[in-house]
Amino acid sequence: METSDWVQLFHGAWTTLWISGCAMMIGIPAGLVIALLREARIPGLGAALSCYVSIGRATSLVTLVLLIFFGAPSIGLDLSPWLAAIIALALNTTAFNAEIWRSALLSFPREQLEAAQAAGMTKGLMLRRIILPQIATTSLPALVNEMSLLLKSSPAVAVIGVVDLTRVTNRIAAVTYEPLPSILGACVLYMVMVGAMVWLQRFADQRARRLAM
């Protein structure tokens, strides 16, 4: 491949990383809020959130991207392809992150909560000082795995015209009539991005264990 082809691939990789990163920054805290609200057992709300999580996990990402982009104008919203892509990815990953956080909450040792209540701690204080630090550590591997899956599923946004890494790869292949070099280049870039996430997860995990000692 020529230098210009690599420049296009790097630009596409940045688009993929940027859109996925925005969705992750929305989806991780939003998933935590949903998990906490489901465990709060508020009448009606828990059932509605459970329904959202089930639908979000079962819906194809491509279908969701198309639904957001072409369905938004029907309610008076004119979304750009970028914004529609971020919203669709965020809705998708929020549903999966909510289950990850909820699993961590359900497996949290109740003895610690009973001891904290006996010590006179409020629910808010227990959440900030006891629950969140521990479930964040235990959920980290699963959250990073979900980030990796989201990044690898992000080519779905190409169906609405977002020029991500996969779309750039197809463009280069169409021009050069040699698809293999651009595909291999895209594979390398995806491996680098996912590998960086795994490395950050291991670094954060090791740091958390040191602080816990």
Identify the CATH number of the domain in which residue 97 sits: 1.10.3720.10
What is the per-residue pLDDT for 137?
83
Give me the residues of the chain with pLDDT under 70, please: 1, 207-213
Cβ partners under 8 Å of residue 208, min gap 6: 137, 140
What is the per-residue pLDDT for 54?
93
Query: Which H or E run includes 98?
Result: helix 81-106
What is the domain count for the chain?
1
What is the per-residue pLDDT for 210?
66
Output DSSP code: residue 76.
Answer: T
What is the per-residue pLDDT for 203?
77
What is the per-residue pLDDT for 100?
95
- Structural Rg of the chain based on CA atoms: 20
| Tokens representing residue 190 in the block | 């995806």
What is the per-residue pLDDT for 44?
85
* pTM, to two decimals: 0.89
Query: Measuring CA to CA, which residue among 213, 176, 138, 212 is closest to residue 8?
Result: 176
What is the per-residue pLDDT for 130?
82
Query: Measuring CA to CA, which residue among 28, 8, 39, 213 is closest to residue 136?
Result: 28
C-alpha span between 112 and 33 (Å, rounded): 21
Output DSSP code: residue 178.
Answer: -
What is the per-residue pLDDT for 102?
93
What is the per-residue pLDDT for 209?
65
C-alpha span between 13 and 133 (Å, rounded): 33
Expressed as residue numbers, the domain containing 12 is 3-212
Cβ partners under 8 Å of residue 139, min gap 6: 100, 101, 103, 104
What is the per-residue pLDDT for 1?
67
